[in-house]
A and B are shown apart, each in its own frame.
Chain A
Amino acid sequence: MQKAWLQVFIGAFFEVIWVIGLKHASHYIEWAGTIVAIFISFYLLIKAGETLPVGTSYAVFVGLGTAGTVVSDIVFFGEPFSFLRIGFIAFLLIGVIGLKLVTEERGEA
């Protein structure tokens, strides 16, 4: 169980890495790293889903991924901090996580 949560956290980390790569990669080595990160994040999420409820693990995964990309925007790439933008992103995240959890409740995640 603990190992599966670790897979969710590391998977979300690689999720943020590939999003950064898709925006900022310029060299072919960086593009290759981006593609590897996509496979690692998907693999870890699928692995975690074998132990954890899929809806719950995906909800945590996508929440961490979104928070990570927003923070990276601001901290590493000088995107201005905007309450309105972060508010809408949080609102959108409620919708995504809500859908995943509702689907799971009905046992068909």
Chain B
Amino acid sequence: MYWGSLIVAGLFEMIGVLMINIYHQRKSWGALALLILSFSLSFALLSFSMKVLPMGTAYAVWTGIGAAGSAVIGIIWFKERANAIRILMIATIITATIGLKLIAS
């Protein structure tokens, strides 16, 4: 459950960053509200996951999911090029996250 909470925290961070970009493009109240909501939920879930997980592990996975998720959104949604290095970096993040999960349990 703590790992699940950490992963959802990373996903909300990713949505929060997306909302920052959308808010920069068009200053809508909806984007601003979603931005605040996403980051609040993200921090709350990160905090919950750290009841059990070490800070270094939780923080690294949280930033990792945010970065990998943003790259995936960029590729799928904003038609950024999916070059080999990006795919390799995303795979690195996922592999390291799985590794951290495996040695934790």
Contact = CB atoms under 8 A, between A and B. Distances in A.
Interface of A: 19-20, 22-23, 38, 62, 65-66, 69-70, 72-73, 77, 79, 82, 84-86, 88-89, 91-96, 98-100, 102-103, 106, 108
15 contacts: A20-B55, A22-B43, A66-B60, A69-B59, A72-B55, A72-B56, A73-B55, A79-B54, A82-B103, A85-B57, A86-B56, A89-B60, A95-B68, A95-B93, A103-B74
**Range for the number of chain B residues in contact with chain A:** 35 or more
A99 B55 contact: no
B5 interface: no
B46 A22 contact: yes
Given A38-B43, A103-B71, A108-B80, A98 B55 contact: no
